[in-house]
Amino acid sequence: MDFLNMKTLLLGNTTVRQTILKNAFWLTASTVTNKLLALGLVIYAARILGAEGYGQFTFALAFVSLLMVFAYFGLPPIVTREFAREKERSEEFYSLLSLKILLALGTFVLIAAFSFFMPSAQNIQLLIFVLAGFFLLNSFIGICYALFHARQKMEYEAWFETAQSLLVVAFGFAVLFQFPSPVNLGYAYFFAGLGALGALLVFFHMRIFPLRIAWDIAVWKKFMRMSWPLALIGVFGAIYSFTDSVMLGYWGLIIETGWYNAAYKLVTASLIPMGFIGAAFYPMLSKFSRESKEKLQKVWEHEIEIMILLAVPLVIGGVALASNIISTFYTPEFAPSILAFQILIGTAGFIFLYRPLYDAMIVLDQERKTFWITMTGAVLNVVLNFILIPLYSLYGAAIATVGTHASVLLIMLFFIKRFTFLRFPVFRIFLTFTFSLVSSGVMYAFLVWALGYTMHVFFVVPGGAAVYFAALFFLRRYVALQYFKQAYVYV
């Protein structure tokens, strides 16, 4: 393929299929790059700042993130949807910029007000203000990305997200090397965000359309009427993600917050494959939800099977390798993170399992049911944290997180059965779990053998994965293929 064809493939919008492939390429490349860069920075920060300093940073980060939903107010996906339908609406976009200014100011006041109820250490309150500034800058970046999505120009978002990640990592490593402190790390984030926003606004002004501010209350009302349901879902989603760290910090368990987030960040990284698999299946599920119930059922079953085959070894391998993983990435001070990781890896397993159920609810127009599930999970998460953190500290927070996601899985199963035409192939699911457990047992034996020879975890993990998939292939190919052909007993 020559240069011109490659340029057209990766930068042009020529056909529907080419545009989808181009957007998927850029978003996948930027997502993987940015998550790995972010993970590298937070691991290095934990090693340099120690459990207490890292706890302060992650507590402030969680506190700000919990309230930032009010700055976004569900607007980015609505902006993408509305501007994709009609491109020449620059006047409305100008008014949305002024709305973002008001939302940002209101959110900052809200963050400032609630920060006085948090731990009284001055550096934590200053850190909260600095990180609030970073996230508010990002909220303006997000509204520009939403327009890029509407115009099918995801490559722009990929470039600027990667550039911002590189700035954050460069500033962050420099600060941690020369002037290590949680507040200084917060300043690194803030100035990287400021530089990214400045470059983005110049690019937007030159390449998209000239920027200016307009104040049209009718436009504000129009978009906020459409976005408030997404804003509410965002509130409950933020509670899912950040209430544990906020409650730990609120009760003065700052060091424990550092231990907890050291484990949680690694568990979150393990969800990256789930996101890509879900994204690959979602367009097909959406297509067949309108065309064929039979095809939808079949594709959905494949997604469930793949998620099971990944969830089981992830949990078993995570429990087995927890000590080696934590000691590889962190200092001995983070030894309490080992048990937290072993508990929290169950969260990743449950999220893998209910992702196909969530996708099915969305493509079958059950968004309102999904909202109630999200709200129920958020309330349950707060209650469990309130009960378990005083009793078991960071391990109570980990148990609350796992319990919440397990409950969401059970509720999703009920809702799929009750409100959709989809049915569960119970025998096929049972066989998939069985083969995955047996293969994971073989993998576990390999892990124990490899660790006995003090093999490094970076070699143990891919080796364990190879053993797992080899055992799974043998079982599926030579032992039980005939059972799968008959495994369509539905409930």
pLDDT in tens, 447-472: 999 888 777 888 899 999 999 999 99
Distance CA 17, CA 19 (A): 5
Tokens of residue 202, six digits: 């110049």
DSSP state of 425: B
Q: Does residue 384 surpass a pLDDT of 50? A: yes
CA distances 348 to 22, 123, 146, 273, Å, are 29, 33, 28, 11
| Gap between the Cα atoms of 63 and 117, Å rounded | 11
pLDDT band at 441 (very low <50, low <70, confident <90, very high): very high
Average model confidence (pLDDT) across the chain: 82
User: Which pair of tokens denotes residue 69?
Assistant: 């939903």
Q: How far is CA 434 from CA 155, 315, 336, 469, in A?
A: 42, 15, 32, 14
Q: How far apart are CA 345 and CA 264, in angstroms?
A: 8
- The answer to whether residue 22 scores a pLDDT higher than 60 is no
Q: What is the pLDDT of residues 262-271, one digit of tens each?
A: 999 899 888 8
Mean pLDDT is lowest, of 128-142, 303-317, 425-439, for 128-142
3 band by pLDDT with thresholds 50, 70 and 90 = very low
Q: Which residue, 151, 138, 157, 11, is CA-closest to 90?
A: 151
Q: Residue 195 pLDDT > 80, yes or no?
A: yes
Q: Which tops the pLDDT comparison, 368 or 361?
A: 361
Which structure tokens are listed for 255?
């060091």
31-35, 202-206, 340-344: lowest mean pLDDT where?
Answer: 31-35
Sign, CA dihedral 258-271-293-485, equals: negative
Angle between helices 154-178 and 16-67 (to 10 degrees): 40
pLDDT bin (cut points 50, 70, 90) of residue 23 is: low
The answer to whether residue 338 scores a pLDDT higher than 50 is yes
pLDDT of residue 264: 92
Backbone angles phi, psi at 212, to 5 degrees: -160, 170
pLDDT band at 8 (very low <50, low <70, confident <90, very high): low
Q: What is the rounded (10 degree) CA torsion for 138, 143, 146, 150?
A: -150
pLDDT at 420 over 50: yes
Question: Dihedrals φ, ψ of 425, to 5°?
Answer: -80, 85
d(CA 179, CA 172): 10
Residue bearing the bigger pLDDT, 298 or 278 = 298
User: Among candidates 347, 345, 342, which has minimal Cα distance to 406?
Assistant: 347
Sign of the C-alpha dihedral, residues 37, 40, 43, 46?
negative
Residue 195, CA distances (Å) to 163, 167, 168 in order: 10, 8, 10
Q: Distance between CA atoms of 376 and 397, rounded to whole angstroms?
A: 17
- In 10 A of CB 67, how many CB atoms? 22
User: How do the domains of the chain map onto residue ranges?
Assistant: 1-252
* 257 and 245 Cβ atoms separated by less than 8 Å: yes
Of 242 and 354, the structure prediction assigns the larger pLDDT to 354
Q: What is the average per-residue pLDDT within 357-382? A: 84
Write down the pTM of the prediction.
Answer: 0.82
Between 30 and 13, the higher pLDDT residue: 30
Selection from 258-272, 283-297, 365-379 with the highest mean pLDDT: 258-272
Q: Please check the confidence at residue 125 and state whether its pLDDT lies above 80.
A: yes
Helices 16-67, 254-269: axis angle to 10 degrees equals 170
